[in-house]
Structure 1
Amino acid sequence: MITTQPTPQMLAAWKQLWLQYRDKLWPNRKSGTELLHYLREKYELTESRKASTLNIVRENILENQFYAQKLPRGRRPEPKAFFVENEGNGCVLYAAAEKEVALWQGRRERIFVGLDTVTGFFMVEGSSLLWDELYAFRGLDAQDLENYVCVAEYIACMQRFSLPMQSVSG
């Protein structure tokens, strides 16, 4: 998860990483439904059906050209929203979030996940660990592979979890 304003040096390093890996990666992006299934299987979730919350997820897609392009023609986002509970596997996320107090501006809240089952877009508040986990799990599509920031972020997430790069190389 990118948590600071990128510097020119960071952008240059990401571009170098993209050049290093671009011929070794292929589209492996999972669907939004697969992402939802993964979350439900791994974490205790409480679903939020509040219209305002679902609208935030929806608008994050529609108001961002990069994400909006991932919507199939004629389809609208189908957002879901959840709070990850501080139990089971969620305990690890909450323990890690305690170390990220500055990132979340000192607020100790529940971990929120919004996702779209159509595009696979997701957003996380309260846990960079969960964001990185979901990004590594979801993978990249052909459009993402042309974006050096997406590729560098994906590689960083894979490395954070010590996932083998051969699982994504040709």
Structure 2
Amino acid sequence: MKPATPEMVREWKKIHKQYKDRLKPNRKSGQEIVDYLLEKYSLTPISDSKAKQVISLNVLENEPLREKLPEGAEPNPVAFYLDNEGEGKNIYQNQDEMYRGSKIFIGVDLSSGYYLVEGSSMLWDELCAFQELDSKDIENYFCVAQYISCLKRFNKL
């Protein structure tokens, strides 16, 4: 990811100003993300404890993500590989050049709703558009600009 330039920040703030009052909090849960993925794609579950630890630590060591945990809850990670079949073929065919030929890894924390995708910006953007935003996200100019960009990528705006 490139460092943010002043021009990028100005653009994000402009997008935030344009859209924030039209957005309604409707952030999907981690389970809703997993259900969406399982309904649309063929996935291979990963039981590797190290993969799940990465997901948990991403939540616990990142304050904005940690704040999304319900009171007293701990991360509850699940992990998958996206299979290169069915709808997944399209994701692999449009895989970013730097990831071409790599398996696509998906991690979701069921408690906070955090997700990560390694190997496909397209799938990450799809999940961003699906998940939507909560009220705190709507106040964050970067979150809004990122969400709007993802909606536009899939002609949902």
The alignment's TM-score, normalised by the length of structure 1, stands at: 0.89
Choose which of 99, 124, 130 in structure 2 pairs with 1:137: 130
The aligned counterpart of 1:111 is 104
How many residue pairs are counted as aligned between the two chains? 157
User: Is 1:70 the equivalent of 2:58?
Assistant: no
CA drift at 1:5 = 2.2
CA drift at 1:108 = 2.5
CA drift at 1:28 = 1.1
Task: Give me the whole-angstrom Cα distance separating, in 1, the residues matched to 2:20 and 2:134.
Answer: 12
Q: Which structure 2 residues correspond to residues 15-54 of structure 1 after superposition, within 5 A?
A: 15-54=13-52
Q: Which runs of 4+ in 1 moved over 3 A?
A: none
Task: Give me the whole-angstrom Cα distance separating, in 2, the residues matched to 1:22 and 1:37.
Answer: 28
Instruction: Provide the aligned C-alpha RMSD in A.
Output: 1.0
Unmatched runs of 5 consecutive residues or more in structure 2: none
Residue identity in the other structure for 1:128: S
CA drift at 1:120 = 0.9
Unmatched runs of 5 consecutive residues or more in structure 1: 165-170
The aligned counterpart of 2:144 is 151
Give a deviation string over 1:2-25, Cα, whole Å, max 9, x none: x42221101110001101111111
Task: Give me the whole-angstrom Cα distance separating, in 1, the residues matched to 2:118 and 2:86.
Answer: 19
The aligned counterpart of 1:90 is 88
Task: Give me the whole-angstrom Cα distance separating, in 2, the residues matched to 1:123 and 1:43.
Answer: 16
**Which secondary structure does the structure 2 equivalent of 1:61 belong to?**
helix
Q: Percent identity?
A: 46
**Which secondary structure does the structure 1 equivalent of 2:50 belong to?**
helix
Task: Give me the whole-angstrom Cα distance separating, in 1, the residues matched to 2:90 and 2:47.
Answer: 25
Choose which of 97, 110, 123 in structure 2 pairs with 1:101: 97
User: Is 1:126 the equivalent of 2:129?
Assistant: no
Residue identity in the other structure for 2:133: L
